[in-house]
Chain A
């Protein structure tokens, strides 16, 4: 890197330097363009700083802009040189051309050099009261940047007060930018731990915002909608009013305005008690969401993720629109996957036939991943709609007859779930399934088929033969298959003791002696002990009645769902995770979430906070230094989550969990509010995450197992634990 004190003597920069000092205006301008071009591609042109600076005073606006661009790029590395430019900047803020004034004030805000900032305040003060709205709106954003660098300067000069006055500006663009600046300052202040609210939305400000909402640019509308979402209305009348004023925004062409409006309505609708009005708002929200599907796939995807979330809360909003979600052959996979999920959510008795013929079509496509998901969706439909189960089974049978390996395997896995949901209903298909035994090479499919054979061992004549195949290759199979084989053989033995004694003997031998998985070994020992001591107990355990399965209505915990819905268009709602778990701005984490919680909140809201904290605690768990006595409370939060999920449905259960108090709110506080009441436990981050990952586990109905853990496994081992 060449120092600016010793200009390069040859090469491109040397020539540029000569050109920058040329007496011809055009040559100088061209040289500046070349410098900027080099800067863009990452070449070091910092050595030309003094030469470029000389070209700053010019009447040519374009040239001025280019020089400013250069300055912004290198101000950080060469602050002492930027001082030379200060006079020109200050002079420019007095220029007769408003564009020049705005440009100067904007550039000064962007330079991020300490020395410049001291000179910024006076011109900024002036520009905030400029006649021209363009200058005013530029200056408003500049305040936010100044706050980022030196908050105390903003406070000293009373800029925040000026901004608050500017919300009443006559120009809607200025209002929008002012709101954006105030929001930025607010966020920065909260992140820095300031206790004082910088941007309090009073009813007067609220009205100004609602007026400006209809008049400013799309970006301004998003800013205002974000601010409106933060406002806590004192009564339901005002909430209604806000909703009504925001509803027209649903017809805006810009998708982010539409989803921003959805968010505001979802938040303020919580206060609207009139069921009629709520329904009306919901009805108005649905069509704009569907319209978003005419956009490019990226926007579609974000819209679909959000629709998915909305449907979990309000499954009736799009019930007549399922066809819109039919997948096209050339949709990207990420869009197809979301559409599938939504279609199953929308499935009902009236549209299940259309859905099934569509899913069958998808199952014959080329894309393996999509085909598998489609077959899964058929299974989910069967479990969701009792009346359609038989039709689903027929479709699955047709698919099995195609003999395409991955189709057959996935169909077998899905059949297992259907057998669980409707025991002893579709035994007729078992021979077809067994006929495909040789096709199976995936552990999950094998385990599923073995489970089915074990479950219906007394109905299948050659069950011992079929299981014998797996017993022979026992040690070569994967653990899930081994576990299933073990259980199935024991089931067979308990139902048809005659003829299967040898089989059970050999598998127990192999499993206890030659198997290297402790899980398999332990289960074999337990079975062995059971069988040898009390066959009656063994029957009670192994052949016990299994709890029915159902399709989980939500994929996230109810409390978390509330939180996500109020975050609607943001990343949190796209990833279906609270923001705290993936974007850690500064110290927003367990601490700040807890701070938020400390204030008294309405019941359901605080439940939400708690679910959030649990997740955040899990996220931060690796940072052990954080776990002083504050975090000792975090260790208890797994139970907090369990309590909150139950609480949502039955407050009584929460009482049981947390103690004796009759007020649910007190209980919530006692769960993790006071360290003194409950013994300090070590943090259990793994549990915290586990609790979040499978909300199903905390509620009685066992969800559709998607992963490689067949339900019987869970059920039987649970039963065993209960026995001992």
Chain B
């Protein structure tokens, strides 16, 4: 199981950085870049290009495939030849992007170009010339590739580059646990858990959800000394279905009594992911959508249309924040004019042909409305059949997941623990 390499393309489809491709001809990566650019140019919508592109005759030995993903304006490519798992390529691309995030904060063509030496070193450390991913755990990587920090810059200006390598370098991978650095020390031992839940729903015309699923994630920021062995007990854990875990979690233990037993990596990491399905009496296991959208009128006339919408929060205690409602007005849409409630805004994006309606904060049980009309160059405009509504709820989780207990063994101190909840939603509301 091995991929052939990695290529990063900028917004115009030109390669910025690519791995060595040492065991193939120079044309091999170029052919893949070309195939992808060609496919994108040919497709009416660039996002509709098959994610695993079949590239014929790229190598002397036969055909290959090109797995590609888009992050921001950049595209990450991974050619594979032979019968390889494309998920392997996608998982590696995702991991590499995460690493770049760790190192540079944001990823853009400019940051990559400015730090190409670091990116190159990262590529070398994470991907073997034979295509095997090597070290991808951020904890271990930091030992071997220095992040571009102020310290290294200062040191390099002062001309003492020899010092720039940390003393820990003399024993990399000395830790018996691959994901955790050895010899971590903190003055304050703290660990924070962020429960982030995302509601994904499709709501039918009559207001009943056709499907609604909550995907949850527990992010963790660990600042604990030594080698702590944690035992985390969650309330409501029986409601969590289909959980998947960071490699540090002992799976057998979860299978036995639904507690999380693990030695955490240092710093930020994703502890677990799950699907929340309430064990309710209804067979559908649906989570209710925290608002209602009433489409009072939605008339399509010749060369335009009128609409009258009202959005009501169904929450009673917390506000819905950063609510964005989008509607694609169809090919040929040329403009819109609307009246919105106080504290809300609207605009029409002539590039994406979307009507945006933004509400910074929707207080509990309140109603906001949008009334207006749009024009189109098409005789019978065909706007999208559904509104897309995104929102956030701070300090809230659909599953009401709580930490019941956190036990620490293996170290003498008592850690401070904190937990936060946050919910987001992405709902499709049909009219």
A interface, CB within 8 angstroms of B: 24-26, 29, 33, 36-37, 40, 59-63, 65-66, 69, 72-73, 76, 96-99, 106, 109-110, 112, 132-134, 137-138, 141, 144-145, 148, 171-173, 177, 180, 183-184, 214, 216-219, 222-223, 226, 248-249, 251-256, 258-260, 287-288, 290-291, 294, 296-299, 301-303, 323-324, 326, 328-330, 332-334, 354, 357-358, 361, 364-366, 567, 569-572, 574-575, 579, 582-586
Contact = CB atoms under 8 A, between A and B. Distances in A.
Given A62-B121, A110-B22, A251 B243 contact: yes
A-B pairs, top 7 by smallest CB distance, nearest first, are A584-B62, A298-B51, A579-B83, A569-B85, A248-B251, A287-B242, A134-B173
8 contacts: A26-B161, A63-B161, A106-B128, A138-B134, A177-B132, A248-B252, A569-B87, A584-B62
Given A291-B242, A326-B210, A586 B61 contact: yes
Contact of B1 (A110, A180, A583): A180
Given A180-B1, A584-B63, A252 B245 contact: yes
Nearest to B271: A253
B191 interface: no
B213 interface: yes
B107 interface: no
Nearest to B255: A248
B52 interface: yes
B172 A354 contact: no
A157 B81 CA distance: 30
B112 to A, nearest CB: 10
Contacts of B370: none
Contacts of B245: 251-253
A60 B173 CA distance: 20
Nearest to B426: A328
A329 B384 contact: yes
A76 B21 CA distance: 12
Pick the most buried of A329, A332, A365, A366: most chain B CB atoms within 10 A of its CB: A329
B85 A112 contact: no
Contacts of A354: 210
A622 to B, nearest CB: 13
A184 B23 CA distance: 14
A510 B42 CA distance: 42
Interface in B90-140: 90-92, 94, 116-117, 120-121, 124, 128-130, 132-134, 136-137
B385 A219 contact: no
Contacts of A301: 50-52
B69 interface: yes
Given A216-B178, A291-B275, A583-B81, A253 B246 contact: yes
Nearest to B209: A323
A365 B385 contact: yes
B385 A60 contact: no
Contacts of A571: 52, 65, 80, 83-86
Contact of A133 (B82, B170, B173): B173
B169 interface: yes
A184 B84 CA distance: 13
A184 B130 contact: yes
Contacts of A291: 242, 244, 273, 275
Nearest to B387: A329
A138 B64 CA distance: 27
Contacts of A324: 211, 213
B90 A302 contact: yes
B86 A574 contact: yes
A582 B63 contact: yes
B90 A97 contact: no
Contacts of A255: 87, 90-91
B392 interface: no
Contacts of B241: 287
A73 B20 contact: yes
Given A326-B210, A584-B61, A112 B86 contact: no
A567 B242 CA distance: 24
Contact of A36 (B63, B85, B117, B162): B117
Given A138-B134, A141-B132, 12 more contacts: A40-B18, A59-B162, A99-B172, A148-B23, A180-B2, A219-B133, A248-B255, A253-B246, A287-B242, A296-B90, A302-B90, A332-B47
B326 to A, nearest CB: 9
A69 B69 contact: no
Contacts of A584: 61-63
B17 interface: yes
Interface of B: 1-2, 16-18, 20, 22-23, 45, 47-48, 50-52, 54, 61-65, 67-69, 80-88, 90-92, 94, 116-117, 120-121, 124, 128-130, 132-134, 136-137, 144, 146, 156, 159, 161-162, 164-165, 169-174, 176, 178-179, 200, 202, 204, 210-211, 213, 215, 241-247, 251-252, 254-255, 270, 272-273, 275, 284, 328, 330-331, 382, 384-386, 388, 428, 430
Contacts of B272: 253
B246 to A, nearest CB: 6
A97 B204 contact: no
A382 to B, nearest CB: 21
Given A59-B162, A184-B130, A256-B88, A251 B173 contact: no
Given A251-B254, A294-B215, A574-B52, A180 B129 contact: no
Nearest to A263: B85
A592 to B, nearest CB: 13
Contacts of A65: 121, 124
Given A73-B20, A302-B86, A586-B61, A29 B161 contact: yes
Nearest to B50: A334
A492 B384 CA distance: 45
A574 to B, nearest CB: 6
A75 to B, nearest CB: 9
Contact of A326 (B69, B133, B202, B244): B202
A208 B116 CA distance: 40
A591 B428 CA distance: 53
A329 B385 contact: yes
Given A65-B124, A323-B210, A571-B84, A361 B161 contact: no
A69 B94 CA distance: 24
Contacts of A110: 20, 22, 129
B202 A328 contact: yes
A360 to B, nearest CB: 11
Contacts of B69: 296, 298
A260 B165 CA distance: 38
Contacts of A583: 62-65, 81-83
